[in-house]
Amino acid sequence: MSGEAGDLRARQPKAIHSALTVLEEVARCGAGVTARQVSDNLGLPRATAYRLLNLLVQDEYLVRMPDLRGFALGRKVAELAKLVAPSRPPEAVRLIVTDLRERIRGGVHLVRYDRDGLAVIDPDPDFPPTPAAAGSRPLHESAMGRLLLAEQRSPAVTEVQELGFARHFDAVSPGSGCLAVPIRDRDGTLVAALCLAAPRARIEQPGEHLVLLQQAALTLAPLLA
Amino acid sequence: MGATQKSALERAIENPQPVAGIESRSPVDGLDRRSVGFIDVLSQSVSAVAPSAAATTMPLLVATVAGGATVWALGAAMLLALLVATTVNQFTRRIAATGSLYTFVAHGLGTTASFVTGTALLVGYGFVAMFALGGAGYYLAILASRLWPALTGSLLLPVLVILGMAAACLVLLARGIRVSTRATLLVECVSVVIILALVVALLVVQGPALDWSVLDMSGVRPADFAVGAALALTAFVGFESSATLGVEARRPYATIPRAVTWTVIGSGGLYLLAALSQLVGFASVGGSITASVSPVNDLAAAYGIDALGLLLDVSIAASFLACAIASITALVRVLFSMGREGLLPSAFGRSHRRHRTPFVAIVVTVPVLTTGLIGTILLTGSVWRAMEIFIVGAAGGYIAAYILACVATPVFLWRIGELTPWPLVRAGVAAGLLSAVLVVYLAVESSSARFAGVWVFLAVMLVGTVFAVVRRIRRPWLRDTVGVYDVPVSTDVLGAGLAEDRAAP
């Protein structure tokens, strides 16, 4: 519908600024903050604050709490944040991954896992992952996704238990494959993974590549956890 | 914000804080939550108003009382309807419910007022549904007797048509909200296009020399203008009915207010155009609209486009059918709310497992309405007489519900701490004008041939309210349950899942 973006005009930067300020204020105060508190805290006129809050509720960046007075951040805020490129990992991490890339033929990507899913935080510059591979596909159609599913005890993924890593074939193109070696913190929680994208044959028989990846995973664990 | 110092928003996203008090299921769970888009929501409101049927009949009704002020009275009614729409939207922007005004009033004025509103709303939706089913049968019967003159005058034919259409409504409504809104949208679009084509054809045949004297207000008494505007307002009622889709609509806080406002603007525009074209048409053929029984048909005949009359009957019947479906859609969702709350037997709050519709309410409502309609037709001996009774009752029900909603708006806003001057002024003006309209309307109708409608309306309101109040005394806990609405569930709220995880063992 045209109403979605059609209402937005470049002449209203102040309104957009105010809307973001309101969003920020709800985040600062925490769930349950009322419209009046937001208006008082920001020094915004009541009518303006109420209208902005209701607009943000309409677009589901905010939700009205069950008591109808309070507001909380909507799940859409996190989705918005996902679109923004994830922050670069520290240099110590990047050095290890770069060193690994020089010794392995194929694309090596570093992936981080959190509550809202996975994000490729250090993609291989020579073999950039396709947008589809980088998380917008169903989880069971990539090695990095299958690792997460195994972590969530999905019955669809069995190889991680047996092999200690996840793999998947023919996802991007026939004859290709990828595998993902988990990086775990001291408690055993999955925090990240090193992924290798290579021809199918090399993924089936990873040999010393697997050893290199697993060694690097151990080195990276304390830096990423 | 500096690179080292993160904003509150960033911190909240990276590390969501647990939000307590969010359940994983909404209390109105069971319907097809967040499944229909803006077009479906709009078609619900538009169909409940039935603009094409009203555009052909309303100018005549208003002209008989308001004379030269017909177009102005329609315009005034449109402004009042807009005022009510923006006031009702104070609720639709904040509460997503299936009970529409009944639920809204509960949050402003409490349980008893909510029961009165609920009764008025059920009268509005129920009577309009019967009126529209009767109307569809009436016009299809006219159509049939045009083709087969032997059928003229029989009551059996419209009754059979009504039974057939009621069965169709039952199936459509039970099959799912998308099926029924899409069906009404299609039907309503066809009938609006036919009406617009007729209006344009009339204006084109008319040529450039329009007779603007039809807008002359001189010689119109203010009282006649007021009565005309009150009658004209009844052409708009039903615009709020998309509020019953609060659970099923996607982005309900955006789509429902938009649908409510645009329904009033769109149908108001159509009425003004239709009234103007009909008045101008009659002025130029030298006749009078008030002497005509079916003005658009007569006009079409006068301009030699008689075949259009046939098309017109089809379009009105279609519009009535869409109106019946939309009104029953709204009606069963109000009943669904009442069933969930315990005001009605809990079976009314049950939904179909696969189609996710308020199945029990549909299965009970459609036969009851059909029986009521056919009974009234047989009692009065004419479909038209029965329709007149229903439309008067329905208009009364709607307007009464609107008044209570307008009174409840500022109280509700004050309770949640969001009251500002403008909504207060708008609600106050709307409530005052609507009360005047209701009194004028009931007074006018009680001295007309349709007086039975006024008494039926008052009687049903009384019975419904007494039932609800008795129920409330028997079940004192109702005061805590009435006003059920859709609340955000844990998948909607950032961090709500965390609280759940922690609560779990």
pLDDT (tens digit per residue) in A40-99: 999 989 999 999 999 999 988 999 988 889 999 887 887 776 655 566 788 888 899 999
The most confident of the ranges A7-11, B179-183, B230-234, B253-257 is B253-257
Residue A80's closest chain B neighbor by CA? B13
Q: Which of B43, B488, B26 is nearest to B256 (CA)?
A: B43
Q: What is the mean pLDDT of residues B267-295?
A: 81
Query: What pLDDT, in 10s, does the model give residues B385-421?
Result: 898 889 889 999 999 999 999 999 999 999 999 999 9
ipTM of the shown complex: 0.84
Alpha-carbon span A162 to A181, nearest angstrom: 13
How many other CB atoms are found less than 10 A from the CB of residue B153? Answer: 8
Please report the DSSP string for A69-92 in residue order: SEEEEBHHHHHHHHHSPPPPPPHH
pLDDT, mean over chain B? 86
Query: What pLDDT, in 10s, does the model give residues B346-368?
Result: 889 888 888 888 989 999 999 99
The pTM is what?
A: 0.78
Q: Which of A168, A172, A101, A170 is nearest to A130 (CA)?
A: A172
CB A33 within 8 A of CB A71: yes
For chain A, residues classed under CATH 3.30.450.40 are: 85-224
Q: Do A73 and B493 touch (CB under 8 A)?
A: yes
Q: What is the pLDDT of residue B130?
A: 95
Query: What pLDDT, in 10s, does the model give residues B284-304?
Result: 777 777 777 677 777 777 777
Alpha-carbon span B207 to B203, nearest angstrom: 7
Q: Do B9 and A27 touch (CB under 8 A)?
A: yes
Alpha-carbon span A66 to A22, nearest angstrom: 20
Give A24's contacts (C-beta < 8 A, 6+ positions apart).
B7, B8, B9
Q: What is the pLDDT of residue A172?
A: 67
How many other CB atoms are found less than 10 A from the CB of residue B471? Answer: 15
Alpha-carbon span B462 to A215, nearest angstrom: 81
Alpha-carbon span B390 to B198, nearest angstrom: 28
Kindly list the distances between the CA atom of residue A217 and the CA atoms of A94, A193, A210, B399, in Å, as whole numbers in the listed order.
Answer: 13, 7, 10, 71
Q: Which residue would you say has higher pLDDT here, A8 or B74?
A: B74
Q: What is the mean pLDDT of residues B2-25?
A: 69
Residue B174 has pLDDT above 70, yes or no: yes
| Closest CB to B9 among A23, A35, A68 | A23
Residue A128 has pLDDT above 80, yes or no: no
Residue B282 has pLDDT above 70, yes or no: yes
Give B178's contacts (C-beta < 8 A, 6+ positions apart).
B32, B35, B36, B40
Sole residue written with tokens 């290199």: A212
Is B425 an 8 Å CB contact of chain A?
A: no
If you ran DSSP here, which 8-state letter would residue B96 be given? B
For chain A, residues classed under CATH 1.10.10.10 are: 3-81
Element (H, E) at B457: helix B451-474
Residues of B in contact with A34 (CB under 8 A): 416-417
Is B487 an 8 Å CB contact of chain A?
A: yes
If you ran DSSP here, which 8-state letter would residue A172 be given? S
Residue B5 has pLDDT above 70, yes or no: no
Query: What pLDDT, in 10s, does the model give residues B480-501?
Result: 888 888 888 877 787 665 544 4
pLDDT band at A2 (very low <50, low <70, confident <90, very high): very low
Q: Do B487 and A66 touch (CB under 8 A)?
A: yes
pLDDT, mean over chain A? 82
Give B167's contacts (C-beta < 8 A, 6+ positions apart).
none
Q: What is the mean pLDDT of residues B150-168?
A: 86
Please report the DSSP string for B335-400 in residue order: HHHHHHHTSS-GGGG---TTT-S-HHHHHHHHHHHHHHHHHHHHHHT-HHHHHHHHHHHHHHHHHH
Q: Do A47 and B422 touch (CB under 8 A)?
A: yes
Q: What is the pLDDT of residue B352?
A: 85
Sole residue written with tokens 């055993």: A188
pLDDT band at B436 (very low <50, low <70, confident <90, very high): very high
Q: Which residue would you say has higher pLDDT here, B305 or A6?
A: B305
Residue B1 has pLDDT above 50, yes or no: no
Sole residue written with tokens 């008045």: B279
Interface of B with A in 450-469 (CB under 8 A): none
Domains of chain B, CATH where assigned: 28-484 (1.20.1740.10)
Query: What is the sign, positive or negative, of the torsion defined by CA atoms of A187, A189, A194, A200?
Result: positive
CB B19 within 8 A of CB B494: yes
Hey, what are B303's tokens?
């301009």
Q: What is the pLDDT of residue B263?
A: 95
If you ran DSSP here, which 8-state letter would residue B153 be given? T
Number of CB pairs, chain A paired with chain B, less than 8 A apart: 97
Q: What is the dihedral of CA B105, B111, B115, B118, to 10 degrees?
A: 30
CB B322 within 8 A of CB B191: yes
What residues of chain A have any CB closer than 8 angstroms to a CB in chain B?
A: 1, 3, 23-25, 27-28, 30-31, 34-36, 46-47, 50, 54, 57-60, 63-66, 68-69, 72-75, 77-78, 81, 115
Q: What is the mean pLDDT of residues B451-471?
A: 90
Residues of B in contact with A77 (CB under 8 A): 9, 12-13, 494
Alpha helices in B15-148 (DSSP H): 38-49, 51-66, 70-92, 101-109, 111-147
CB B140 within 8 A of CB B158: yes
Sole residue written with tokens 């999905």: A154
Kindly list the distances between the CA atom of residue B294 and the CA atoms of B57, B72, B166, B210, B425, in Å, as whole numbers in the listed order.
Answer: 8, 21, 26, 22, 40
Give A124's contacts (C-beta < 8 A, 6+ positions apart).
A101, A107, A108, A109, A197
Percent of chain A's residues with pLDDT above 70: 85
If you ran DSSP here, which 8-state letter would residue A59 be given? T
Sole residue written with tokens 């922050």: A87
Backbone φ, ψ for residue A59 (5° rounding): -90, 5
Alpha-carbon span A112 to B21, nearest angstrom: 30
Q: What is the pLDDT of residue B455?
A: 92
Q: Which of B290, B324, B351 is nearest to B26 (CA)?
A: B351
Kindly list the distances between the CA atom of residue B312 and the CA atoms of A225, B57, B288, B445, in Å, as whole numbers in the listed order.
Answer: 73, 12, 20, 28
Query: What pLDDT, in 10s, does the model give residues B34-77?
Result: 888 899 999 999 999 989 888 888 888 888 888 788 899 999 99
Q: What is the pLDDT of residue B326?
A: 92
Is B494 an 8 Å CB contact of chain A?
A: yes
Q: How many CA atoms lie within 13 A of B19 on its CB side?
A: 33
CATH number of this structure's domain A3-81: 1.10.10.10
Sole residue written with tokens 């005394």: B473
Query: What pLDDT, in 10s, does the model give residues A157-209?
Result: 888 888 888 888 876 677 888 899 999 988 888 889 999 988 888 888 888 88
A3: buried, middle or exposed (CB in 10 Å: 19+, 13-18, 0-12)?
Answer: exposed
Least confident of B35-39, B162-166, B307-311, B476-480: B307-311
Q: Does domain A85-224 have CATH number 3.40.640.10?
A: no
Q: What is the pLDDT of residue B163?
A: 94
Q: How far apart are the first and last CA of chain B?
A: 39
Q: What is the mean pLDDT of residues A110-120?
A: 78
Interface test mutation site (partner B, options A36, A65, A152, max chain B beta carbons within 10 A): A65
Backbone φ, ψ for residue B195 (5° rounding): -60, -45
